[in-house]
Chain A
């Protein structure tokens, strides 16, 4: 019996290896087509992850990334104890939370509005225009802000002053109290239209019969929005909310970096700009890696938490 079993499993193993070999042989073209992408991901995505050990080592120029002495959590402790820990955490959190709270509902509203426009030509014009700012580079976007919000010649800041919405001597670009608003509102200006596409797509999938049936029941447009459209795009809303939760502690580097100046630095120094300043500009490679890793871990944690929450609440999940 034993022998037979052993023989059987040996045969099985041989067959299995032959099948595996066959599959590589049979699929070699598929492997070849995958190869360039795999090499890129391994080198440029997993390579830096391997390099993350820098965060646990004293970087030594002569010994390379993996050669320095192991120092454990030293650089993490250094960050937690540094005077920049709370300001960078707080600034990052405030900016991204504001962006999420103010920025998330507007694309949904825009999608419902665009979807309800009856004149096709007007609809196209509105859509084309609203998507446009997405393609403007961050550099140009920040330059636009500087032009529109300039304290002397800025069209927008002068209009606000004429309406007495802001004080006469206010410089919107150099004020720590206005920074977050300028950042968030300009982000909405640039991204809301583009972000509405996904909800528009979800709305276009709503069954036309539902509208007809509700009309027979005497529902008006408001009720259709509330009882048909919103429930049908709810899964999309939740999935996007989860994905956004995963970035709650990450604020785009480029825009913050470009908007940063001496006057607003107390609120505009976020984790990513801090990593750039200490990690790259001042060459504290280990410290910069540690701060970056800490940031990535928190984001990852938030993503998983939000995913679990949504799974439990609505049976919707990303993965």
Chain B
């Protein structure tokens, strides 16, 4: 051991370890608070008296509960049109994603399938090199998909990243012996895939489904670029109009202007909650698969 000074105290395992766990605790708690508090604040501010919120008096608990914001939101037609559109795009889009990604990942996971290396390289190349915004826009335009709901469903039908995750899962988690046994019984690829591979792959299906679903739900760039009719706009565009462009919602402009602003703020808090809740509801169910999913994805493709 070194000479007896203060520094050597840190070399005594129990003191150093205690200090370590204190530091870990402090960092963990502050990270937790930094992330959780703004979210918590939005929730309590969405049903507190907007005047108190704007004076900074709503900090830890909701005060003078008022549901005005939510009432306005439920009356607002544009939000529900956006909601409906987003649900349609997300559900149909995700189904298409799965229908395209899963079979392709299966094909590319078969080692006996000769073209798999070439195909994989061609797919991965598109992750790092793309035509860019303008040529993609021109393509969509020339396919007559501009301002149609189809583009919202078709665009991004395959994410190469998700394809790699799925393929890696098929390769590493489904034993080859199963396939050999199935072939002996005269099983085709179609049947093997549908009756054996898919039921064994719930974890990876959950992960990529979550990724695709959240991607569709939060998609903002595609509708901004490809849609312009109000009746087709998904929730995120409606949100942008309400939250960021300060388009006053019906009802928010009543009364004195300062108070009107406060009411408009309350509507914003409510809109944030209403639009984010579906994603957050799905989250706990799929959370246990996250780490598995990211880990599979980390294995290089």
Partners in one complex: yes
How long is the Cα–Cα vector from A289 to B25 in the complex, in angstroms?
50
Closest chain-B Cβ to A18's Cβ sits at a distance in Å of 14
How long is the Cα–Cα vector from A286 to B6 in the complex, in angstroms?
68
Which of B62-70, B71-79, B174-182, B273-281 makes up part of the contact surface?
Answer: B273-281
Does B200 reach chain A (CB closer than 8 Å)? no
Instruction: With a 10 A CB-CB cut-off, give which of A23, A140, A144 has the most chain B CB atoms.
Output: A140
Give 1 or 0 for each of B231-261: 1 = CB within 8 Å of chain A CB: 0000010011001100000000000000000
Instruction: With a 10 A CB-CB cut-off, give which of B108, B135, B190 has the most chain A CB atoms.
Output: B135
The answer to whether B134 touches A129, judged by C-beta atoms less than 8 angstroms apart, is no
A189 and B35 in contact (CB under 8 A), knowing A40-B157, A49-B135, A135-B280? yes
Does B147 reach chain A (CB closer than 8 Å)? no
Give 1 or 0 for each of A72-90: 1 = CB within 8 Å of chain B CB: 0000000000000000000
The residues of A that contact B133 with a CB separation of less than 8 Å are: 253, 272, 275-276, 279-280, 288, 292
Does A175 reach chain B (CB closer than 8 Å)? no
The answer to whether B139 touches A118, judged by C-beta atoms less than 8 angstroms apart, is no
Mark out the residues of chain B between 89 and 143 whose CB falls within 8 Å of any chain A CB in the assembled complex.
99-101, 103-104, 106-108, 110, 112-114, 119, 122-124, 126, 128-139, 142-143
Does A94 reach chain B (CB closer than 8 Å)? no
The answer to whether B54 touches A220, judged by C-beta atoms less than 8 angstroms apart, is no
The residues of A that contact B193 with a CB separation of less than 8 Å are: 33
Mark out the residues of chain A between 191 and 236 whose CB falls within 8 Å of any chain B CB in the assembled complex.
193, 197-198, 200-202, 215, 218-222, 225, 236
Give 1 or 0 for each of A19-40: 1 = CB within 8 Å of chain B CB: 0000100010111011011101
The answer to whether B28 touches A48, judged by C-beta atoms less than 8 angstroms apart, is no
Instruction: With a 10 A CB-CB cut-off, give which of B99, B129, B269 has the most chain A CB atoms.
Output: B129
Mark out the residues of chain B between 189 and 229 whose CB falls within 8 Å of any chain A CB in the assembled complex.
189-190, 193, 214, 217-218, 220-221, 224-225
Closest chain-A Cβ to B30's Cβ sits at a distance in Å of 10
The answer to whether B128 touches A246, judged by C-beta atoms less than 8 angstroms apart, is yes
Give 1 or 0 for each of A251-280: 1 = CB within 8 Å of chain B CB: 001100110000000000000100110011
Does B184 reach chain A (CB closer than 8 Å)? no
Give 1 or 0 for each of B277-289: 1 = CB within 8 Å of chain A CB: 0011001100100
Closest chain-B Cβ to A268's Cβ sits at a distance in Å of 14
Chief secondary structure at chain A's binding surface: helix
The residues of A that contact B224 with a CB separation of less than 8 Å are: 257
The count of residues in chain B whose C-beta lies closer than 8 Å to any C-beta of chain A is 94
Closest chain-A Cβ to B145's Cβ sits at a distance in Å of 10
The answer to whether B294 touches A49, judged by C-beta atoms less than 8 angstroms apart, is no
The answer to whether B130 touches A45, judged by C-beta atoms less than 8 angstroms apart, is yes
How long is the Cα–Cα vector from A215 to B139 in the complex, in angstroms?
62
The residues of A that contact B31 with a CB separation of less than 8 Å are: 110, 113, 126, 130, 193
How long is the Cα–Cα vector from A319 to B132 in the complex, in angstroms?
23
The residues of B that contact A43 with a CB separation of less than 8 Å are: 139, 143
The answer to whether B35 touches A116, judged by C-beta atoms less than 8 angstroms apart, is no
Sample of 20 further A-B pairs with CB below 8 A, known A33-B189, A37-B157, A126-B28: A33-B103, A33-B104, A37-B103, A40-B158, A41-B122, A41-B158, A47-B135, A47-B139, A65-B135, A125-B32, A126-B31, A129-B35, A132-B35, A132-B39, A135-B279, A135-B280, A136-B276, A153-B56, A198-B295, A272-B133
Can you list 26 A-B contacts (CB < 8 A)? A33-B189, A33-B190, A34-B119, A37-B103, A37-B158, A45-B130, A48-B132, A50-B131, A54-B134, A65-B138, A113-B31, A116-B21, A126-B32, A130-B32, A132-B39, A135-B283, A136-B279, A139-B240, A140-B272, A147-B42, A189-B35, A201-B295, A280-B134, A296-B130, A299-B128, A303-B128
Q: What 10 A-B pairs are tightest by C-beta distance, nearest first?
A: A48-B131, A292-B132, A51-B135, A37-B104, A33-B103, A137-B218, A221-B20, A220-B16, A143-B243, A48-B135
Instruction: List residues of chain B with CB under 8 Å of any chain A CB.
Output: 10-13, 16-17, 20-21, 24-25, 27-28, 31-32, 34-36, 38-39, 41-42, 53-54, 56, 99-101, 103-104, 106-108, 110, 112-114, 119, 122-124, 126, 128-139, 142-143, 154-155, 157-158, 160, 163, 188-190, 193, 214, 217-218, 220-221, 224-225, 236, 239-240, 243-244, 265, 268-269, 272, 275-276, 279-280, 283-284, 287, 290-291, 294-295, 298, 300
Instruction: List residues of chain A with CB under 8 Å of any chain B CB.
Output: 23, 27, 29-31, 33-34, 36-38, 40-41, 43-52, 54, 64-65, 109-110, 113-114, 116-118, 122, 125-126, 128-133, 135-140, 142-144, 146-148, 152-153, 155-156, 158, 189, 193, 197-198, 200-202, 215, 218-222, 225, 236, 239, 246, 253-254, 257-258, 272, 275-276, 279-280, 285, 288-289, 292-293, 295-296, 299-300, 303, 318-319
